[in-house]
Structure 1
């Protein structure tokens, strides 16, 4: 599966190639008309060149329009991803405060929710795996869950219920946990 960036680069390359072809055909038609005069426009040789040139111009216009639409869509998706990432961060922070997690527990909980293993988290923090497990047990107890899956599920379910918008009229963000367990 190709990425949006490789499709964009491919479209730009195709557009540039087609523009060069258009320039070639236009130059060839102009040269033919210069040599043979305007009466040559109806010749069997020039008519296909004019048709190909018109087709290429239409193709270039379509591709430029498609590329611009693709770029707008990509920008929109990036904004939506940014909103979703910010919303998840807000939901996590709200839960962490409600559960009264220590800064270390917050750090470990965030890594856990992001899917890192105990060994990876221990490596990030320069801690022993046993220390991470101890923190995780405290996090699970404070959150009222039995493990990583329930912890992640709790946050994701709350995020899916919350609207993905910024501040409401009251100035508060609408992303509050339904219950703090």
Structure 2
């Protein structure tokens, strides 16, 4: 799995390392200013250190802003995903209401929507495959569908707004 460089878990250690480097550079600059070397290039050296340090500090503040924005965006996306999941559940439940499914048929239909096979549904419900097949047939009859594919197609059409849930 490849790491995303925009993930907060990656940005935080980078910010920490950069902050430590900035502290070292600031200490070196303060030392150079308080105890100057008498070499002719020392003034230029200190200027480059100052520019590099301020560039590093600016990068740290920029990364902190990005991190904050990513964290806020992630929170908004998680809220939107939760809302969408709830809406999908509501639409599917409304369709099950329209079909007048019994509680057992709702369970089976829910497992059908999740893509489980007849055997898997029977195992999950602790019932026999014949019982699940009978419940699937009742779901098909009540929904006006001939098979799983048609049930799923009808639900997807409803979710996509191509079909009114009250129809």
Normalised-by-shorter TM-score class: 0.7 to 0.9
Gap runs ≥5 in structure 1: 163-176
Deviations 1:125-160 (A, max 9, x none): 112222222211211111111222222222222222
TM-score (norm 1): 0.79
The residue aligned with 1:66 is: 66
Alignment of 1:144-159 (within 5 A): 144-159=144-159
The residue aligned with 1:102 is: 102
TM-score (norm 2): 0.85
SS at match of 2:115: coil
The residue aligned with 1:44 is: 44
SS at match of 1:68: helix
The residue aligned with 1:119 is: 119
The residue aligned with 2:21 is: 21
CA distance in 2: counterparts of 1:61 and 1:126, whole angstroms: 58
Q: Does the Cα contact within 8 Å between 1:143 and 1:180 map onto a contact in 2?
A: no
1:6 positional shift: 8.1
Q: Does the Cα contact within 8 Å between 1:15 and 1:63 map onto a contact in 2?
A: yes
1:179 positional shift: 4.8
The residue aligned with 2:90 is: 90
The structure-2 alpha-carbon separation of the partners of 1:70 and 1:149, relative to structure 1 and needing over 3 Å to count, comes to farther
CA distance in 2: counterparts of 1:145 and 1:126, whole angstroms: 26
Structure with greater Cα Rg: 2
Q: Does the Cα contact within 8 Å between 1:11 and 1:67 map onto a contact in 2?
A: yes
Gap runs ≥5 in structure 2: none
SS at match of 1:101: coil
Deviations 1:75-109 (A, max 9, x none): 11111111111111111111111111110110111
CA distance in 1: counterparts of 2:160 and 2:2, whole angstroms: 28
CA distance in 1: counterparts of 2:77 and 2:95, whole angstroms: 27
CA distance in 1: counterparts of 2:154 and 2:26, whole angstroms: 64
The residue aligned with 1:55 is: 55
Alignment coverage as a number of residue pairs: 165
CA distance in 2: counterparts of 1:6 and 1:107, whole angstroms: 41
What is the CA RMSD across the aligned residues, in angstroms? 2.6
